[in-house]
Structure 1
């Protein structure tokens, strides 16, 4: 299949994506935000802030950002296109729906009751990927899926099955949301059982869980795992960054650097009224920005023995491979066990 990936400015060779942040949000709104007419972010402000964010990442060598905002959370590819044009950073956007608890399930749950939802979800994914979103002509480069804490609901499973069908037919990559770092192994198993290529799956927010055995259960299925919430601490069930760093160093030491990615899951503009963090939390999220990995996390990883080559693999080669480009050879389980011994 093609090694190109759709960006807001058109197809790009996956081997030329460069340093990539695989899970960020230039703007995001929880379903229902538009119902509060008191708060409405101005288009020019969204673009201005978006360009500032892209340029900050660019100053650290980032050339591509994946905006993982799903359809029901304020996704707007035309705004992303303007940000990309002004900043020069590639932006890949998604087609998909958020997990049931914080998404907009009413429409498809109604259709689910009629037994027709899953086919419509499939049609939606295929149309956007092949023809573009609405009349914009802009095509997503990834499918975004999500599941609930400790379960994948019947509603969410419809999206997983439809996405699997689309992935097999188009080769598009899939990224996911795991709520509080749960259901990662189960997400991977479900998608693979439906025929998805594991090399095109990124299980997201796995850094919400610091249990090495949990990560291994996921990684051993051949998928990629996201440490993509750096900067979020003690919020939405997230551990402290130092705990994430320890887990990440452990997995790299076990030989899994070829299946790991890093990002922040930043929200740079909140649609609707922005949340007000309690004073006690402000210090815990002060580093929740697109420069955090480069300014704070990478130096900590290096102090833990992680090499520049391994960091390049995580930030450049693995995202490239997720989108069908050249990849470092993943070690087999037997090879990894030899390293450990």
Structure 2
């Protein structure tokens, strides 16, 4: 039997992933939201309603699979993802992993490491969630999510990178990453490959936080995929405009890297905790940050800029299939 992909409703073949968004969030909360449940209890029904609407909207654009990149410490809800998938037919891939030190929940494994081997425990967590299931749900994670800080991969974060490389060697499951404000893409790739991870099963994420083509080429030199996966977040937290992203994507495709690029939004469809009150000016900047923006606005702009439709089809279909172990032929 060939390689399969863990979705929340069961295994599928890489070739059956179809059109894929590789980095989105059905629900997300910054660690600490659990302590505010008195003021903001989890409205699971509302989260479900929003998730069902998002699933149907992206499916109307031909999307068949979404990778939910929510880390374990940021409100991941695999049973919610299962219900969304069951009721809509959208294939959803759930993550196992922790967020970066500055915005994640580092105290737990730092405490564990003071009295034992935290890295071994992280590895055990990854393996259990990938091969047996998350908690008592029986739902298996299908990707490992990693994250690093701005300008550094801290000692705490390196534990997760090493444990992930080890788990990936044993399972073949892809690794997806968060880079902070356009930094550490080449360093993440180098560390993972040095630890024995297969570069063909790695996406270095949020690469569109940096518009220096040398940064992208240095990352690609390690044989990994790169993701422009924050489309719609513009001029905020160091984010460039979508026009700048498009120029860089077009340039990299012209250099022959169309088979190593993936596109997504990093959209948060339901915030855990109290509702986010965006200031009016920021709300205007984030107006395009939604999970159909690529298909409604970005793809037409890329086609107008000269990117062939078949290359874009490869970015959304063949590249994800290859990441998950399908045919390694180029676009």
TM-score interval, smaller chain: over 0.9
How far 1:112 moved relative to its partner? 2.3
**Equivalent position of 2:22 in the other structure:** 22
Instruction: Give ranges in structure 2 of 5+ residues lacking alignment.
Output: none
Question: In structure 2, how many angstroms separate the alpha carbons of the residues matched to 1:291 and 1:54?
Answer: 10
1:6 aligns with 2:6: yes
Q: Which runs of 4+ in 1 moved over 6 A?
A: none
Question: In structure 2, how many angstroms separate the alpha carbons of the residues matched to 1:83 and 1:121?
Answer: 28
**Equivalent position of 2:263 in the other structure:** 262
Question: In structure 1, how many angstroms separate the alpha carbons of the residues matched to 2:272 and 2:227?
Answer: 25
Residues 201-243 of structure 1, C-alpha deviations (whole Å, 9 max, x = no match)? 0000000001001000011111000000000012222111111
The alignment partner of 2:134 has SS state of: coil
Aligned residues: 330
Instruction: Give ranges in structure 1 of 5+ residues lacking alignment.
Output: 331-341
Question: In structure 2, how many angstroms separate the alpha carbons of the residues matched to 1:11 and 1:287?
Answer: 33
**Equivalent position of 1:35 in the other structure:** 35
The alignment partner of 1:186 has SS state of: helix
Question: In structure 2, how many angstroms separate the alpha carbons of the residues matched to 1:328 and 1:264?
Answer: 26
Question: In structure 2, how many angstroms separate the alpha carbons of the residues matched to 1:102 and 1:235?
Answer: 17
How far 1:113 moved relative to its partner? 2.6
Question: In structure 1, how many angstroms separate the alpha carbons of the residues matched to 2:150 and 2:95?
Answer: 22
The alignment partner of 1:11 has SS state of: strand
How far 1:327 moved relative to its partner? 3.0
The alignment partner of 2:92 has SS state of: strand
How far 1:53 moved relative to its partner? 0.3
How far 1:198 moved relative to its partner? 0.3
**Equivalent position of 1:44 in the other structure:** 45
Question: In structure 2, how many angstroms separate the alpha carbons of the residues matched to 1:282 and 1:240?
Answer: 15
Query: TM (normalized to structure 2)?
Result: 0.98
**Equivalent position of 2:161 in the other structure:** 160
1:193 aligns with 2:194: yes
**Equivalent position of 1:296 in the other structure:** 297
**Equivalent position of 1:229 in the other structure:** 230
Kindly report the root-mean-square deviation, in angstroms, between the aligned alpha carbons of the 2 structures.
1.1
Residues 22-46 of structure 1, C-alpha deviations (whole Å, 9 max, x = no match)? 0000000000101112012311111
**Equivalent position of 1:127 in the other structure:** 128
1:206 aligns with 2:183: no
**Equivalent position of 2:253 in the other structure:** 252
Residues 2-27 of structure 1, C-alpha deviations (whole Å, 9 max, x = no match)? 42100010001111100000000000
Question: In structure 2, how many angstroms separate the alpha carbons of the residues matched to 1:142 and 1:295?
Answer: 27
Question: In structure 1, how many angstroms separate the alpha carbons of the residues matched to 2:297 and 2:177?
Answer: 25
The alignment partner of 1:94 has SS state of: strand
How far 1:277 moved relative to its partner? 1.5
The alignment partner of 1:312 has SS state of: helix
Question: In structure 2, how many angstroms separate the alpha carbons of the residues matched to 1:93 and 1:253?
Answer: 33
Query: TM (normalized to structure 1)?
Result: 0.95
Residues 293-318 of structure 1, C-alpha deviations (whole Å, 9 max, x = no match)? 00000011011100011101110000
Residues 78-111 of structure 1, C-alpha deviations (whole Å, 9 max, x = no match)? 0100001111100000000000011000010112
The alignment partner of 1:92 has SS state of: strand
**Equivalent position of 2:105 in the other structure:** 104
